[in-house]
A and B are shown apart, each in its own frame.
Chain A
Amino acid sequence: MSDQPLIEMRDIGKIYGSHTVLRNVNLDIGQNEFLVVVGPSGSGKTTILRMIGGFVEPTSGDILLNGSRINGIPVNRRPFNTVFQDYALFPHMTVAANVGYGLRVKGLAADEIKKLVAQTLDLVGLGQLGSRYPAQMSGGQRQRVALARALICKPRLVLLDEPLAALDAGLRHQMQTFLKSIQREIQTSFLFITHDQEEAISLADRICVMDHGEVVQVGRPEEVYYRPCNRYVADFFGDNNLVDAQVKTVNGDGVAVETPFGMAVARGDQGMHFNAGEAVTLAVRPENVELLGANGSAPAGHVKSVSFVGPLSLVEVESTKSPGATLHVKQLSSQLAAPFKIGAGVTVSWKGKETWVIRK
């Protein structure tokens, strides 16, 4: 297997009238990769999917498939298949006819279609339901039909446009696991669009974060989660503390910063070239901060509120130095003793490896 990406989007722009939908998008999809594009609605993520699918042509830039340009090639000649958000199952056809449609248009013999349809329905766990009509099936089953219909053509890339958005939470988790296992089994690239950050993290090999038509960050789930490139990404995934700070010294990727809760040693992207004196933001997950009792020394802050949420409790600390600045800390509930009563003075211990500095 070569290192060449399956799909490369090069400097893609898309403008509708005076409205810019995509700006300078560069994105690769690797061979057999599960890439999730995540962003709020209107961020341009669906346009990326539709552009690769061939439903929308870019205003500028190139799309390459295994190195050759595919701009202008119509939808029905691209070796990709889509699972639509509303499934778009043909209501007048049985499940088997729906799944076999892609083979029928290619003119395959009826018995061969029948065989492949049966195989594919087995793959998605709907072996017995071929003779039903879409209207007679549940949302989760329709989802599987839509997937089977897309997979039967053996596409190089499966495009999934928020396919789980219509399902309830339980079914969603089940389908996520299922999708992931199918993708591993058939060894095909998946491009998955979602607005749900949790879904993105649990499914993706790599995540592409979009905002206002631009790619903000692309990386493995733990990269975008712990090492966001800016405030937007830091805020997008889960709970995060964004603390204003000032750079004191820089040493390689280690940055010493002054925060309202005392000094901290953090890491930052080396390419960023932070300068001493620069105002920055510290992104640190609540589970990566530790609180210590003040024990006589000057407290960095005091406990403002404590909420018990199972094994971990969420403690909110307000800075002594600059009141108003707060820090959320997840502390093991069993350790919540007297030092952490409301109003108690505390000091903060930062885990340097997991404390990330980003430009303000």
Chain B
Amino acid sequence: MGHPQVNFRKTPELGSAREARLINSLVVIAYILPIALILGPFCIFFVVSFGRVEASAVVIDFNLSNYVRILADSTVRMVIGRTLVIGIATALVCTLVGFPAAYLMKILGPTRRSLLMVAFAVPLLMSYVIKIYTVRNLLGTNGVINHFLMASGLVSQPLEFFTLSYYGVFLTLTSVLLPFAVFPIFLSLDRIPASLVEAAADLGASRTRIFWTVIFPLSLSGVAVSLTFTFVLAIGDFITPELVGGPNGFTLGRIIFSQFGLGFNWPFGAALSIFMMMIVTVALALATRIRPPGKVTF
């Protein structure tokens, strides 16, 4: 044989004990951590929803009373109904208004596009409470607008229409969640190959026609993400209703939060949360139906 012997001495063996241990621990981490951090807590949560509070302690006796209460209590039902309305309205408005902005982002040149992206990303990354603070600072009972209206004599009482109401919650959520709509739609628009648009133009389609027959259907995946993102964040929020909802602006998120605070009824809060998860699941299932016909692979 004319071959020099290949030297394997320094090569750590693939099957060496040290390496096998390492790989095994990787596998263990991959399974243990998600189970401990996510599956476990969600299961405990689920179990607690079948309990009740007795003498300021949670007793788990597997009864359905919390779920019965969700369905029977007219106040809870009303709150859930209003939460859904706020969630859907927020999702629709954000997506409708966000789409043109996303489209503009797509057709701009690289520099302007980056600037616009930064402009949308900055509010997205500002501390959530701060954003709501700024909205309340403007629209609230003691806000700039009310100060202005009172001083100019247009109104004698501060307007509470903007805040301290469901309407205020909706307005605030919409302004805070708008960037969440813009980015997914932009990403889906950006994925559409230019060749498709060119092909449509080459076939003589007008701009309007190209938009409705090519661009819009292919951006539907982004629209679906935008709708679900904003909807889920809107119905789950408790900070906005807590800060701008006033005494009446209760949403599902807020009553859940209150069960873990002053209300102290963890099992009922847990049951409400499970109910919210079901709503989210239904919303996600519906969103998967929003997609272009046929199979799109890019």
Please say whether the chains A and B touch (CB closer than 8 A): yes
Q: Interface on A for B, CB 8 Å cutoff? A: 1, 31, 74-77, 79, 105-107, 153-156, 187-188
Q: Which residues of B contact A188 (CB under 8 A)?
A: 3
CA of A74 to CA of B19, assembled, Å: 13
Most buried by A among B3, B7, B11, B14: B3
Q: Is B204 an interface residue (CB 8 A)?
A: no
Q: Which of B1-23 contact A (CB under 8 A)?
A: 1-4, 6-8, 10-11, 13-15
CA of A1 to CA of B1, assembled, Å: 6
Contact between B1 and A76 (Cβ–Cβ < 8 Å)? no
Shortest distance from the beta carbon of A166 to any chain B beta carbon, whole Å: 22
Q: When the two chains form the complex, which single residue of B3, B8, B13, B15 contacts A154, counting CB atoms closer than 8 Å?
A: B3
Residue of A nearest to B6 (CB): A79
Q: Which residues of B contact A76 (CB under 8 A)?
A: 11, 13-14
Q: Which residues of A contact B14 (CB under 8 A)?
A: 74-77
A-B contact count (CB 8 A): 29
Q: Which residues of A contact B1 (CB under 8 A)?
A: 1, 31
Most buried by B among A77, A155, A187, A188: A77
Given A154-B3, A154-B4, A188-B3, A74 and B10 touching (CB < 8 A)?
A: no
Contact between A74 and B15 (Cβ–Cβ < 8 Å)? yes
Contact between B2 and A106 (Cβ–Cβ < 8 Å)? no
**22 chain-A/chain-B pairs, Cβ below 8 angstroms:** A1-B1, A31-B1, A74-B13, A74-B15, A76-B11, A76-B13, A76-B14, A77-B8, A77-B11, A77-B14, A79-B6, A105-B11, A106-B7, A106-B10, A106-B11, A107-B10, A153-B6, A154-B3, A155-B6, A156-B3, A156-B6, A188-B3
Shortest distance from the beta carbon of B12 to any chain A beta carbon, whole Å: 9
Contact between B6 and A154 (Cβ–Cβ < 8 Å)? yes
Interface SS majority for chain A: loop
Shortest distance from the beta carbon of A152 to any chain B beta carbon, whole Å: 11
Shortest distance from the beta carbon of A1 to any chain B beta carbon, whole Å: 7
CA of A154 to CA of B6, assembled, Å: 7
CA of A75 to CA of B1, assembled, Å: 22
Shortest distance from the beta carbon of A100 to any chain B beta carbon, whole Å: 15
Shortest distance from the beta carbon of B2 to any chain A beta carbon, whole Å: 5
Size of the B side of the interface (Cβ < 8 Å), in residues, is 12
Shortest distance from the beta carbon of B19 to any chain A beta carbon, whole Å: 10
CA of A79 to CA of B8, assembled, Å: 9
A156-B3, A188-B3 provided; 19 other pairs, C-beta below 8 A?
A74-B13, A74-B14, A74-B15, A75-B14, A76-B11, A76-B13, A76-B14, A77-B8, A77-B11, A79-B6, A106-B8, A106-B11, A107-B10, A154-B3, A154-B4, A154-B6, A155-B6, A156-B6, A187-B2
Shortest distance from the beta carbon of B7 to any chain A beta carbon, whole Å: 6
Q: Which residues of A contact B2 (CB under 8 A)?
A: 187
Shortest distance from the beta carbon of A108 to any chain B beta carbon, whole Å: 8
Most buried by A among B6, B10, B11, B15: B6
Q: Which residues of B contact A79 (CB under 8 A)?
A: 6
CA of A276 to CA of B2, assembled, Å: 52
The 0/1 profile, CB within 8 Å of A marked 1, for residues 8-47 of chain B is 1011011100000000000000000000000000000000
Most buried by B among A105, A153, A154: A154
Q: Which residues of B contact A154 (CB under 8 A)?
A: 3-4, 6
Residue of B nearest to A106 (CB): B10
CA of A106 to CA of B2, assembled, Å: 21
CA of A188 to CA of B4, assembled, Å: 11
Residue of A nearest to B13 (CB): A77
Q: Which residues of A contact B10 (CB under 8 A)?
A: 106-107
Residue of A nearest to B4 (CB): A154
CA of A77 to CA of B3, assembled, Å: 16
CA of A79 to CA of B6, assembled, Å: 7
Q: Which residues of A contact B7 (CB under 8 A)?
A: 106
Residue of B nearest to A79 (CB): B6
Q: Which of B143-182 contact A (CB under 8 A)?
A: none
Shortest distance from the beta carbon of B66 to any chain A beta carbon, whole Å: 46
CA of A79 to CA of B5, assembled, Å: 9
Most buried by B among A75, A106, A187: A106
CA of A229 to CA of B259, assembled, Å: 81
CA of A355 to CA of B8, assembled, Å: 52
CA of A105 to CA of B10, assembled, Å: 8
CA of A106 to CA of B4, assembled, Å: 15
CA of A107 to CA of B14, assembled, Å: 16
CA of A31 to CA of B7, assembled, Å: 20
Q: Which residues of A contact B8 (CB under 8 A)?
A: 77, 106
CA of A79 to CA of B1, assembled, Å: 14
Q: Which residues of B contact A106 (CB under 8 A)?
A: 7-8, 10-11
Q: Which residues of B contact A31 (CB under 8 A)?
A: 1
Shortest distance from the beta carbon of A235 to any chain B beta carbon, whole Å: 34
CA of A154 to CA of B15, assembled, Å: 23
Shortest distance from the beta carbon of A178 to any chain B beta carbon, whole Å: 21
Q: Which residues of A contact B3 (CB under 8 A)?
A: 154, 156, 188
Shortest distance from the beta carbon of A334 to any chain B beta carbon, whole Å: 50
Residue of B nearest to A31 (CB): B1
Q: Which residues of B contact A156 (CB under 8 A)?
A: 3, 6
Shortest distance from the beta carbon of A57 to any chain B beta carbon, whole Å: 13
CA of A218 to CA of B250, assembled, Å: 79
Shortest distance from the beta carbon of B3 to any chain A beta carbon, whole Å: 6
CA of A155 to CA of B6, assembled, Å: 8
Q: Which residues of B contact A74 (CB under 8 A)?
A: 13-15
CA of A74 to CA of B16, assembled, Å: 11
CA of A79 to CA of B3, assembled, Å: 11
Residue of B nearest to A1 (CB): B1
Residue of A nearest to B7 (CB): A106
Shortest distance from the beta carbon of A303 to any chain B beta carbon, whole Å: 47
CA of A76 to CA of B6, assembled, Å: 12
CA of A156 to CA of B10, assembled, Å: 19
CA of A125 to CA of B14, assembled, Å: 33
